[in-house]
């Protein structure tokens, strides 16, 4: 039975969160993805590892492929008995030439489905604080191309009817023709005082909005380049009250997250919620230790220990993963007391319905040692510490000094990361990055090694560096990095709060 099918998928206006659930599923199942210029490449991360990616973007006067060639490409790939997902910005059938592609597929008797997408005429003004309809202003809304087929002898737009017959007008890709559009609207009866908004890169961190009237917008928007959408109508007046997207505290800020790829998402999501553009640049990679035998031996003799001390969520994950791989469950921890440093680590343990007996008030090794001395005798007790290969020696040494027997166990290794964004230095030099974050000493050391200490020194004063805690800050300062943003609580939420506190409208 043939598998071939083509999904014509609307990828939405730019914010990757605005794709539909069905559209996302089509990306995941595709053998071939054919995508446009305005498709956010973040969406491609959901694709299969062996998917064939084909970029067919059209930008200004530069076309990777002409439309006829794109049509042929879809047919060719489908005839190879492949699942093809055609990703188009916005909605496939709204100025996306999706109808043309569908007709060609039908001509060749190739099965296809159309997955609607959120179109820019709705989403972009929404993100700019402009509702396209409002009962006190208008109940009619029109979508119009601002860039008609250049081969036409005359415009197919009936300016006499749309100028005064529709309350809100949305012109797609009409920046270059803005003088003509405004001229035609006023010529056919629309008041020159009608509010107008031109919105560039709507729904993305690069969003830029210029507001004026039909009389003034051409001059005000002279520096706006495509891609942009133009909204004409009284509803534009509501922007001052309803502008939520551009008013978020970190809007316009680009922040680099240097955590491991596995852990970056939580941090990135929190920053994104406050409007930041986040670049994931993982400088560390978490892998299994060279030998798993010591961990196996510790798990098989777990009842000989008094305390199980976790100093990171990675230690928790590595320990429990191996525990379950050995065919055991949490019942083997009966009678064992648990200590955890920080809420993330404690939360990782509590996921298994295990109560944490000791939670130090500060999230550093010194506080762990002090709290353990307060709650237990230490002397004569056995401690198991599942940790990283590069963990500080302070805690096991302090417990041993107090008479404790310590098994300082390597359950994971921290290696140099392999970031995909190789242009990070260029972005730093170009002023495209505002803040670089460090969540451990290893992220600092590896970042310096990847970027080069001389490059960081040359950029002093242009970029702010943020640290999660005193040990990380100390490492950074030893390497010549001035930490401008310091978390008061040594957690990811604490670091986010510190970044928010350091940011003011003046900074933007």
Domain CATH for 89? 3.40.1010.10
Q: How far apart are CA 310 and CA 370, in angstroms?
A: 15
Q: How far apart are CA 253 and CA 274, in angstroms?
A: 10
Confidence category of residue 294, pLDDT binned at 50, 70, 90: very high
In a domain, 49, yes or no: yes
Q: How far apart are CA 257 and CA 262, in angstroms?
A: 12
Confidence category of residue 454, pLDDT binned at 50, 70, 90: confident
Q: Are residues 23 and 135 in the same domain?
A: no
What are the respective helix, strand and coil percentages of the chain, to the nearest 5?
A: 35, 20, 40
189: buried, middle or exposed (CB in 10 Å: 19+, 13-18, 0-12)? exposed
Q: Are residues 268 and 292 in the same domain?
A: no
Q: Express each pLDDT in 107-127 by its tens digit.
A: 999 999 999 999 999 999 999
Phi-psi region of 422 (alpha: psi -120 to 50; beta: other; left: phi over 0): alpha
Q: Express each pLDDT in 260-284 by its tens digit.
A: 887 888 899 999 999 999 999 999 9
- Tell me the CA distances in angstroms from 322 to 104, 237, 303, 319, 387, one per residue in order: 54, 60, 16, 5, 14
Instruction: Quote the pLDDT of residue 187.
Output: 97
- Residues in Cβ contact with 252 at an 8 Å cutoff, skipping those fewer than 6 apart: 205, 275, 508
Per-residue pLDDT for 170 more than 90? Answer: yes
Q: Collapsing DSSP states into helix, strand and coil, what is residue 424? A: helix
The tokens for 263 are 């852990």
Residues 386 and 411: beta-carbon distance below 8 Å: yes
**Which of 36, 77, 253, 317 does the annotation list as catalytic?**
36
In a domain, 508, yes or no: no
Instruction: Quote the pLDDT of residue 150.
Output: 47
Instruction: Quote the pLDDT of residue 362.
Output: 87
In a domain, 80, yes or no: yes
Q: Are residues 163 and 219 in the same domain?
A: yes
In a domain, 478, yes or no: yes
The tokens for 88 are 């188009």
Instruction: Quote the pLDDT of residue 63.
Output: 67
Please tell me the least confidently modeled range out of 238-252, 292-306, 363-377: 363-377
Q: Are residues 448 and 343 in the same domain?
A: no
- Tell me the CA distances in angstroms from 341 to 239, 321, 387, 429, one per residue in order: 46, 19, 12, 37
In a domain, 316, yes or no: yes
Per-residue pLDDT for 62 more than 80? Answer: no
Residue 58 known to be catalytic: yes
Confidence category of residue 508, pLDDT binned at 50, 70, 90: very low
**Which of 29, 72, 173, 479 does the annotation list as catalytic?**
173
Per-residue pLDDT for 69 more than 90? Answer: yes
Per-residue pLDDT for 311 more than 80? Answer: yes
Q: Are residues 275 and 220 in the same domain?
A: no
Domain boundary among 97, 118, 139: 118
Q: Are residues 410 and 292 in the same domain?
A: yes
Domain boundary among 118, 148, 173: 118
**Bridge partner list, 89:** none
Where helices occur in 288-417 by DSSP H, the ranges are 293-300, 313-325, 343-350, 365-375, 394-401
Q: Are residues 44 and 86 in the same domain?
A: yes
Q: Are residues 104 and 150 in the same domain?
A: no
CATH at residue 165: 3.30.950.10
Q: Express each pLDDT in 468-483 by its tens digit.
A: 999 999 999 999 999 9
How high does pLDDT run on average in the chain? 93
**Which of 29, 58, 288, 474 does the annotation list as catalytic?**
58
**3 vs 38, more confident:** 38
The verdict on whether omega for the bond into residue 47 sits within 30 degrees of 0, i.e. cis, is no
Residue range of the domain that includes 83:
5-118
In a domain, 248, yes or no: no
Cα 460-479-442 angle, rounded to 5 deg = 115
Q: Express each pLDDT in 484-499 by its tens digit.
A: 999 999 889 999 999 9
Share of the chain above pLDDT 90, in %: 85
| DSSP 8-state assignment for residue 42 | G
**Bridge partner list, 52:** 32
Confidence category of residue 148, pLDDT binned at 50, 70, 90: low
**Bridge partner list, 90:** 12
- Mean pLDDT over 30-47 rounds to 95
Q: Are residues 40 and 111 in the same domain?
A: yes
Q: Are residues 361 and 409 in the same domain?
A: yes
Domain boundary among 414, 438, 463: 414
- Residues in Cβ contact with 53 at an 8 Å cutoff, skipping those fewer than 6 apart: 33, 35, 44, 47
Residues 15 and 206: beta-carbon distance below 8 Å: no
Instruction: Quote the pLDDT of residue 147.
Output: 75
Q: Are residues 230 and 157 in the same domain?
A: yes
CATH at residue 265: 3.40.50.10090
Domain count, the chain: 4
Residues 6 and 78: beta-carbon distance below 8 Å: yes
Instruction: Quote the pLDDT of residue 177.
Output: 94
Backbone angles phi, psi at 89, to 5 degrees: -60, 140
Q: Are residues 292 and 410 in the same domain?
A: yes
- Mean pLDDT over 83-97 rounds to 96
Residues 459 and 427: beta-carbon distance below 8 Å: no
Residues 332 and 339: beta-carbon distance below 8 Å: no
Q: Collapsing DSSP states into helix, strand and coil, what is residue 295? A: helix
In a domain, 247, yes or no: no
In a domain, 249, yes or no: no
H or E stretch including 210?
Answer: strand 208-213
| Other residues' Cβ atoms within 10 Å of the Cβ of residue 45 | 8
- Mean pLDDT over 339-361 rounds to 93
- Mean pLDDT over 459-474 rounds to 90
Residue 6, CA atoms < 13 Å, CB-side half-sphere: 30
Residue 216, CA atoms < 13 Å, CB-side half-sphere: 10
């Amino acid at each position: 039975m043939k598998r071939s099918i083509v999904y014509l998928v609307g990828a939405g206006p730019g914010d990757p969160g605005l794709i539909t659930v069905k559209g996302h599923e089509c990306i995941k199942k595709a053998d071939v993805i054919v995508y446009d210029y305005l498709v956010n490449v973040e969406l491609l991360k959901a694709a299969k590892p062996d998917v064939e990616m084909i970029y067919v973007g059209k930008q200004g006067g530069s076309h990777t492929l002409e439309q006829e060639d794109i049509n042929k490409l879809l047919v060719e790939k489908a005839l190879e008995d492949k699942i093809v997902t055609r990703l188009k910005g916005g909605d496939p059938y709204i100025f996306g030439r999706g109808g043309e592609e569908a007709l060609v597929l039908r001509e060749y008797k190739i099965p296809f489905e159309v997955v609607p997408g959120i179109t820019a005429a709705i989403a972009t003004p929404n993100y700019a604080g402009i509702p396209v309809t409002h009962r006190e202003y208008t109940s009619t809304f029109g979508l119009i191309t601002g860039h008609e087929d250049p081969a036409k002898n005359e415009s197919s737009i009936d300016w006499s009817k749309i100028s005064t017959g529709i309350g809100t007008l949305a012109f797609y890709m009409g920046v270059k023709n803005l003088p003509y559009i405004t001229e035609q609207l006023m010529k056919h009866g629309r008041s020159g005082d009608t509010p107008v908004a031109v919105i560039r890169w709507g729904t993305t961190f690069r969003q830029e909005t210029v507001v004026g009237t039909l009389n003034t917008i051409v001059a005000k928007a002279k520096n706006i380049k495509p891609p942009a959408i133009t909204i004409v109508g009284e509803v534009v007046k509501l922007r001052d009250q309803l502008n939520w997207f551009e008013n978020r505290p970190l809007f316009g800020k680009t922040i680099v997250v240097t955590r491991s790829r596995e852990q970056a998402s939580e941090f990135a999501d929190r920053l994104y919620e406050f409007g930041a553009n986040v670049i994931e640049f993982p400088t560390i990679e978490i892998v299994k230790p060279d030998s798993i035998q010591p961990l196996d031996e510790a798990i098989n003799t777990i009842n000989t220990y008094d305390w199980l001390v976790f100093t990171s969520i990675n230690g928790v994950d590595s320990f429990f993963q191996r525990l379950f791989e050995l065919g055991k469950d949490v019942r083997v921890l009966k009678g064992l007391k648990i200590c955890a440093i920080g809420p993330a680590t404690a939360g990782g343990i509590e996921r298994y319905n295990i109560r944490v007996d000791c939670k130090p008030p500060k999230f550093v090794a010194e506080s762990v040692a002090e709290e353990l001395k307060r709650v237990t005798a230490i002397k004569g007790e056995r401690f198991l510490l599942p940790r990283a290969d590069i963990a500080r020696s302070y805690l096991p040494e302090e417990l041993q000094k107090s008479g404790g027997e310590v098994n300082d166990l390597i359950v994971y290794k921290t290696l140099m990361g392999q970031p995909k964004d190789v242009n990070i230095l260029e972005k730093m030099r170009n002023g495209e990055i505002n803040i670089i974050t460090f969540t451990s000493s290893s992220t600092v050391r590896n970042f310096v090694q990847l970027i080069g200490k001389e490059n960081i020194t040359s950029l002093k004063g242009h970029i702010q560096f943020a640290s999660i805690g005193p040990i990380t800050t100390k490492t950074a300062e030893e390497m010549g990095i001035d930490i401008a943003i310091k978390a008061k609580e040594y957690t990811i939420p604490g670091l986010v709060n510190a970044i928010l506190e350091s940011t003011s409208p003046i900074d933007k």
